[in-house]
Amino acid sequence: MTFYIFFLLASMFSLSIWHVLKAGIFDKLSGILFYLSIAGFSVSAIGLYALDELSAVTLFRDIIALAGVSMFFMFVKENKILAVGSLIALGSAMPLMYQFLLDQHKKPAPATISAISDEINVDSSSELLVELNPGFSMSDIASVIEEYDLEVTRAFHPIDHLNTDLDDYLSVNIPNKHANKQSEVIHDLQSKRAVEYVEKNEIYQLSPIESTKQYNSKPSKKLALNDPLIDQKWEFGPMELNEFYQYIKKNKIKPKKKAKLFILDTGVDGEHEDLKGQFRSFDKNSSKDEVGHGTHCAGIAASVSNNKIGISSPVPSNDFVEVSGIKVLAGFGYGTQKMIIDGMIKAVDAGADVISMSLGGKSTEQREKAYTEVVEYAKRHNVIVVTAAGNSAKDASQFCPANSAGVIAVAAVDESLKRTSFSNTLQHIKFGLSAPGKDILSTYPKNEYKNFSGTSMAAPYVSGTIAVLRSINPELTVDQAFQLLHDTGLETEQQYKTGNFIQPYKAVKKMVEGK
């Protein structure tokens, strides 16, 4: 692409010189330069088009631009002052034009699909989260608010505010004129007796890539379900999901309640053909998904099984689980710590049994307290929180909320049950498990199905399985759920880094039979 852009601009400039200075030696030199440049442009264009690196639309646009510059200099060549001035301006603009075209053609760097960012950025509209000590109010930090013209509002509104300190948090926006004084604002707030804690409200960014590998091998034995794309789910074999479905059917296992599973993500396309039978809308905005990440996660956890449509999930039927989405990542794949915590509070207050979060970010000591508070709030209401370990091939203890005490963090393994190259490790995580996270086929908005990779895909397998277990045993706690899946799971090659690989069949059997 570099040569293509170089020869395009060289053709444009040499042709302009030829029009303006068409006399004597300049006529010959500029003519030769133009013919060489246009030949290089043609060869590189043909090569890139053949490799599908250059579209016909882009090529047509660039040819029109070349022709447009040529026509301009044809009209102005008689006015030497205007012509030479325009030629100088064009030559001066060449470096900027080169960089602009290079940026236009540049491809985004590939990354596994994940809402787990390896960078730490702060929300410019609400930079800080401030926790007040009990008995204090916003008026007790009025002097700091006035000095920096801070915009301060209550951050969270938990219904059960007597059982949490989350209602003591304030959201603080620092105006643009004081944007460079963030450190001073934090220092002045921390100096107040009313302030318990100050942390930055970080931003997370979604960076998706579609996997290309497809699994089309026919199953070696008759499957218990009739979903047409089930033969592309390589993970069903290692997870023994066929045995899981058959055990539930044979033993006529019935749920004691319909467990509520909440996917906190980019929203969920509740009208998808393979989700709507088990989907319950939380709000209108969350029942749409412009990005696709949340819908993909929801399909892994709780797509409708045995309906002769699409794929299957660990949920045997809609008697066991209903799935809902809460949008905590915006339409462009961005979300903040405040948005995620607020979504967790909403899910708990809505009666969630399981919260599934395929998201997070690089951790700092300052940002862990708010997550700790909200996970504690979930535990007090017996809500099990499952989160992705992260896709940075690092220690998950460096990432929130995977490192929050009381959550189950999930690493990703491939079809050989080896840790994927991107998955974070769990050696310093108390509740760590592994699940399939490579080339996972699942639902996608507008009744599509796509393959994605990431710990984002592994976490929903765990949350979907736990939701089923919770429907059978409504009193199941996070400690019990983890222990059950750990004890019945398979040891992987790097078990200390991935945790045990979940086995839903063995887990439900042990819970029902006690052995």
User: Catalytic residue positions?
Assistant: 265, 293, 456
Integer Cα distance of 482 and 430 in angstroms: 10
Rounded CA gap, 239 and 45, in Å? 49
CA atoms 487, 493, 499, 505: torsion sign: negative
CA distance 356 to 117: 17
Instruction: Give the DSSP letter of residue 153.
Output: E
Return the structure tokens found at 324. 């809902």
Look up residue 14 and give its amino acid: S
Q: Which DSSP letter does residue 490 get?
A: B
Count the Cβ atoms, other than its own, within 10 Å of residue 124. Answer: 12
Helix (H) or strand (E) holding 323: strand 321-327
Retrieve residue 409's tokens.
């963090």
- HEC profile of 38-55: HHHHHHHHHHHHHCCCCC
Distance of CA 209 to the CA centre of its chain: 10
Q: Tokens 């030559």, residue?
A: 91
d(CA 494, CA 411): 11
Measure the CA–CA gap between 504 and 462, rounded to whole angstroms.
9
CA dist., res. 234 & res. 226, Å (int): 16
- Residues 225 and 219: their CA atoms lie apart, in Å, by 12
| Distance (Å, whole) CA 360 – CA 399 | 7
* Cα distance between residue 246 and residue 440, in whole Å: 23
Contact 389/397 with Cβ under 8 angstroms? no
